[in-house]
Structure 1
Amino acid sequence: MTDTKTAPAELFGSAMSLSELEQYLARAADLLRGSIDQADFKAYIFPLMFFKRISDVYVEEFEAALGESGGDHEYAAFAENHRFAIPDGHLWSDVRERTENIGTALQRAFRGIEKANPETLFGIFGNASWTNKDKLPDRTLADLIEHFSTRTLSNAAVPPDVFGNAYEYLIKRFADQSNKKAGEYYTPRSVVRLLVNILDPQEGESVYDPACGTGGMLIEVIEHVKESGGHVNTLWGKLYGQEKVLATSAIARMNLLLHGIEDFMVVREDTLRNPAFYAGNRLAQFDCVVANPPFSLKNWGEGEWALDKWGRNTLGGVPPKGYADWAWVQHMLTSARSTTGRVAVVLPQGALFRQGAEARIRAHVLKHDKVDAVIGLAPNLFYGTGLAACVLVLRHTKPAERRGKILFINGESLFKRGRNQNTLEPEHAERLFELYQGFDDVDGLAHVADLAEITGNNDNLNIPLYVAPADGGEKLTLADALANLEAAHARAAETRAALEQELAKWGLEASA
């Protein structure tokens, strides 16, 4: 049952540093260049990496049980001795022996392992096209398998925390390479840390991410509790996530498992249309609800929202068809406990001031004093969009000193400029967190507004209405903001007219 065709003897079981492991995984991804689109690397590399890890751990557990039992192979194969069951013929070494139809062998091993572990691994290997030889000829797969076979990924060689960190490195690497598409599944880790620090989850509390992507928020919750001196195992069975994309939800589950997390629930489903967590006729409720959902999602299920059986529409009505931002807020507030429940969500800043249906929802949420803080972030921090985002912090029950007040933070100057993308460095995230904790006026950065002031601005939450520019200028009034908007529209109309005039000279028409 042992893998006799793994690494050379001098490498077998040798421990790897984090940097060595990162380089080893990065080289595996490089072998796919030219065969697979970079945006799809994750759908192939992560399942292979996970397969190699659980195979090597299975062999490690088998050898330990053999030693413990004095060489009893039947005892060593007992399910009780293994975290995951791997059926005969489905180990990494079994697939490595294949020289033809390797993709078929991999797919068969994946399905066999999923079937043998229905409670924990069902669907975890995703649905990549392993048998498509135009994309993945046997030569490419053989090279990948041989590369992964050069090192052993047992627990002794790579402890879970090291493996988990390397996995996060690879997620970011793929995000950097695919850029535009990465916004669907990756949130910059400094932003993740900011949100989790604000919510401050405690040991034993439940945490839910309704748009969990690759699981970064849930991983950060574990790290936060650990750094706070809490017992991480009190979070077992308390971590919940939902993700619409099959491959991404599978990566999130692998991520949690590879970080050594024993008990969690991540479900692949459309959160707004079909929330996965409920009890009877109401949504399940959690202590902390955190997410970076897709910005201004279109065709999100607005037609069904008016008759939403979970009552999410009672929080101010139905958001517009072309903007799901406040639908996510309504869902998250409904999913937060009425006592301890707190919410942190990343939104485009347009959600703070757009009119119509969104304004009605804002007015409802403000009237019931649910908004704790509005934190503006710098532009171009997120993959796939140059928009400036914000963090909206909400609580069902605010501390007494914060009731009837909202903290506005303008963090537009807190970033490191990059060639293609800006970054929120750890010191910037720490400064934003300090401002949140301070809950006080700070020139050019923060202002505590009471609800009367916000009502005077027609429930508009646009940050420049409340925080004066850092250069000491006056706060922007609502009238000024509207005038600026009108001027921008006028300039856009003038530019389009000039374009149309120029195109007409060439007998062309501008597209609609």
Structure 2
Amino acid sequence: MTQDQIRQLEKELWDAADALRANSKLTAAEYKDPVLGLVLLRFAQNKYEEATPVVEASIPAGPRGKRAATKEDYLSAGAIMLPEEAKYEYLANLPEGKDIAEAINNAMKLIEAEYPDLEGNLPKNYQEFESDLLRDLVRVFNKDAVKKATGDVFGRIYEYFLMKFSMQGAGAQEGGEFFTPPSLVQLIVNFIEPDHGIIHDPACGSGGMFVQTGYFVKGHTNKEVNEAIKCYGTEQKTNNTKLAKINLAIHGIEGKIIESNSFYSDPHHLVGKCDFVMANPPFNVSKVDKGREFVKTDKRLPFGVPKTDNANYMWIQYFYSYLNENGRAGFVMASSATDAGHSEKLIRQELIKTGAVDCIVGVGNNFFYTRSLPCHVWFYDKGKRAENKDKILMLDARNVFRKVTTTINDFSAEQLEGLTAIMKLYRGEQPEVSADNSWFTDLFPDGQYRDIDGLCKIVSLKDVEENDYSLTPGRYVGVTIQLDDAFDYQSRLLEIQEELDSLNAEAKVLSNTISNNLKELV
């Protein structure tokens, strides 16, 4: 399938599924998990059918012919050996008199039994759906185009549904964010280039960072994803942990996702071991118990426990501490963190002195689906080239966006490519930029890096020290004045002057009238 065909299929499936919800009593949060579970069931059958000829061809013929295929044969081919009653076709063709909800619940149990990583994570509450609604929903994912979809296409569909549910506020209804907008995930992946080794996300949500890393590996290496990288995630919320495990399974990514609170545990023991760290942690978390012995002795806090009732600078230190000597990190953070004062400023000062802070990107409003505030994306690189050891790239991208809806913005493909190219040039590398990328070529016509007012500037650690250790890009890049060549500024200024003179004359008349009236009263 082409990219356009995949996008069309995503939209058709979502529109059909969402129309069914609109005619039910279910909220987006109640609808989300069962729908994503059906996507997994459909995917499992497609993978099973895709793997069957491969499995059959791999079984050697013996004196009595070929032996029967086993569960292990299918697992080695990246599929699950599905029992008959767990196949999507079985559910789609279930007679009207049979209980469809019970049949789907049973299918989920059968798959969990065959795939230990999913045990206890699949939805089994389909009895809450009306029978007709459930049968219609099963038909949505039984169209011919869906039956022919490959694993990568299903990964795209799953991520698309996660995004749409997040846009409807399903995460907010459950008390948290579970999905990082693709633009921000792609920006992080493009900048840190996670193509090998240990990848860690200690606030992994639905696992989107790992998914985009998988795509990056496929597009930039000759290795299989699970050969190139090892994924480790920690997530506090039970439902998000389940989403992440399903997401990785659908994308064929092996990973260890643990449900735990990162403030009070370090379940993967990865301090100093990670090649890449990526995260979108919850911002401005309060009420973390800093009196706990684990927190007071946490080696992930090398610059100290922040005294303020805000966990931002705990996360900021965690990401630094997980990296090995050449590791890179990219993470989303509240805008306030780049200028935070008191104990947080002291921590930031020590962090900056290490030379690991590589780049800060300012992002404008409305990139998140359930909150509209701006944010910053921080980047660390402990293996910087020598020329950049005492430098930081400041990128103010608050005015770089594409309007998706009246309340949602993102980066266009052209803008993402351009921002990535700026990072490449800063690193002394030659970027690959499309010939028709006017956003980049207008700013950098010769393809060489230069500081641009209002957008980017390479600053020294001395510059940062002189600016009170602020890491806010807007403080360094200045402002850009954009003139509209088609607008007659001189004529407009004359008009304004005439309006002002007229208003002043009216004010003088009014003032005299008031003064005369007061004299008469006195």
Query: How high is the TM-score relative to the length of structure 2?
Result: 0.75
Work out whether residues 101 and 131 of structure 1, in 8 Å CA contact, stay in contact via their aligned partners in 2: no
The alpha-carbon deviation at position 414 of structure 1 amounts to 0.7
Q: Quick one: which amino acid aligns to residue 54 of structure 1?
A: A
Work out whether residues 453 and 480 of structure 2, in 8 Å CA contact, stay in contact via their aligned partners in 1: yes
Q: Quick one: which amino acid aligns to residue 127 of structure 2?
A: T
CA 1:30/1:305 → structure 2, altered by over 3 Å: closer, same or farther? farther
Q: Quick one: which amino acid aligns to residue 413 of structure 2?
A: P
Q: Quick one: which amino acid aligns to residue 113 of structure 2?
A: K
Work out whether residues 341 and 395 of structure 1, in 8 Å CA contact, stay in contact via their aligned partners in 2: yes
Q: Quick one: which amino acid aligns to residue 112 of structure 1?
A: L
Q: Distance in 1 between matches of 2:56 and 2:192?
A: 46
> Equivalent residue for 2:206?
214
1:250 to 237, 242, 248: 242
2:344 to 345, 350, 358: 358
> Equivalent residue for 1:23?
12
Q: Quick one: which amino acid aligns to residue 12 of structure 2?
A: Q
Q: Distance in 1 between matches of 2:49 and 2:414?
A: 43
Q: Distance in 1 between matches of 2:190 and 2:251?
A: 20
Which structure has the greater CA radius of gyration?
2
Q: Distance in 1 between matches of 2:229 and 2:454?
A: 43
> Equivalent residue for 1:125?
122
SS in 2 for 1:275: coil
> Which stretch shifts more, 52-61 or 214-223?
52-61
> Equivalent residue for 1:391?
377
> Equivalent residue for 2:423?
436
The alpha-carbon deviation at position 466 of structure 1 amounts to 1.5
The alpha-carbon deviation at position 393 of structure 1 amounts to 1.0
The alpha-carbon deviation at position 30 of structure 1 amounts to 2.8
> Equivalent residue for 1:450?
460
Q: Quick one: which amino acid aligns to residue 24 of structure 1?
A: L
SS in 2 for 1:250: helix
* Mapping for residues 213-292 of structure 1, pairs under 5 Å: 213-233=205-225, 235=227, 238-261=230-253, 263-278=254-269, 283=271, 285-292=273-280
**Does 2:307 correspond to 1:297?**
no
Q: Distance in 1 between matches of 2:307 and 2:293?
A: 8
The alpha-carbon deviation at position 406 of structure 1 amounts to 1.8
Q: Deviations over 1:212-257 (max 9, x none)?
A: 2222222222222332243234645512222223333322333333
> Which stretch shifts more, 366-375 or 266-275?
266-275
> Equivalent residue for 1:489?
none
> Equivalent residue for 1:181?
172
The alpha-carbon deviation at position 270 of structure 1 amounts to 2.4
The alpha-carbon deviation at position 199 of structure 1 amounts to 0.5
Work out whether residues 201 and 234 of structure 2, in 8 Å CA contact, stay in contact via their aligned partners in 1: yes
SS in 1 for 2:349: helix
Work out whether residues 22 and 166 of structure 1, in 8 Å CA contact, stay in contact via their aligned partners in 2: no
**Does 2:341 correspond to 1:349?**
no
Work out whether residues 169 and 370 of structure 2, in 8 Å CA contact, stay in contact via their aligned partners in 1: no
Q: Deviations over 1:376-409 (max 9, x none)?
A: 1122211222211111111234221111222211
The alpha-carbon deviation at position 271 of structure 1 amounts to 2.5
Q: Distance in 1 between matches of 2:383 and 2:178?
A: 31
The alpha-carbon deviation at position 56 of structure 1 amounts to 4.7
> Equivalent residue for 2:308?
320
SS in 2 for 1:288: strand
**Does 2:135 correspond to 1:171?**
no
Q: Distance in 1 between matches of 2:478 and 2:81?
A: 60
Q: Quick one: which amino acid aligns to residue 37 of structure 1?
A: T
Q: Deviations over 1:338-381 (max 9, x none)?
A: x2111111111101112123212212212222211111112221
Greater than 6 Å deviation, 4+ residue runs: 63-74
Give the gaps of 5 or more residues in structure 2.
427-449, 483-522
The alpha-carbon deviation at position 116 of structure 1 amounts to 3.0
CA 1:99/1:24 → structure 2, altered by over 3 Å: closer, same or farther? farther
Q: Quick one: which amino acid aligns to residue 380 of structure 1?
A: N
CA 1:121/1:65 → structure 2, altered by over 3 Å: closer, same or farther? same
Q: Deviations over 1:294-314 (max 9, x none)?
A: 222233444437735541222
Q: Distance in 1 between matches of 2:143 and 2:417?
A: 41
Q: Distance in 2 between matches of 1:102 and 1:287?
A: 46
> Equivalent residue for 2:514?
none
**Does 2:399 correspond to 1:410?**
no
1:137 to 106, 130, 155: 130
Query: How high is the TM-score relative to the length of structure 1?
Result: 0.77
The alpha-carbon deviation at position 77 of structure 1 amounts to 5.4
SS in 2 for 1:169: helix
Q: Identity, % of aligned pairs?
A: 25
The alpha-carbon deviation at position 469 of structure 1 amounts to 1.0
Work out whether residues 264 and 294 of structure 2, in 8 Å CA contact, stay in contact via their aligned partners in 1: no
1:374 to 360, 368, 390: 360
Q: Deviations over 1:156-176 (max 9, x none)?
A: x21112222222222222223
SS in 1 for 2:263: coil
CA 1:193/1:57 → structure 2, altered by over 3 Å: closer, same or farther? closer
**Does 2:416 correspond to 1:420?**
no
For the aligned residues, what is the CA RMSD?
Answer: 3.2
Work out whether residues 197 and 229 of structure 2, in 8 Å CA contact, stay in contact via their aligned partners in 1: no
The alpha-carbon deviation at position 38 of structure 1 amounts to 1.7
**Does 2:107 correspond to 1:109?**
yes
Work out whether residues 244 and 257 of structure 2, in 8 Å CA contact, stay in contact via their aligned partners in 1: yes
> Equivalent residue for 1:196?
189
Q: Distance in 2 between matches of 1:295 and 1:17?
A: 37
Q: Quick one: which amino acid aligns to residue 117 of structure 1?
A: Y
1:49 to 12, 16, 39: 39
Q: Quick one: which amino acid aligns to residue 211 of structure 1?
A: A
The alpha-carbon deviation at position 445 of structure 1 amounts to 1.6
Q: Distance in 1 between matches of 2:296 and 2:112?
A: 34
CA 1:137/1:303 → structure 2, altered by over 3 Å: closer, same or farther? farther
CA 1:53/1:201 → structure 2, altered by over 3 Å: closer, same or farther? closer
> Equivalent residue for 1:332?
319
The alpha-carbon deviation at position 41 of structure 1 amounts to 2.9
Q: Distance in 2 between matches of 1:237 and 1:409?
A: 29
Give the gaps of 5 or more residues in structure 1.
1-15, 473-512
Q: Distance in 1 between matches of 2:104 and 2:142?
A: 15
Q: Quick one: which amino acid aligns to residue 113 of structure 1?
A: I
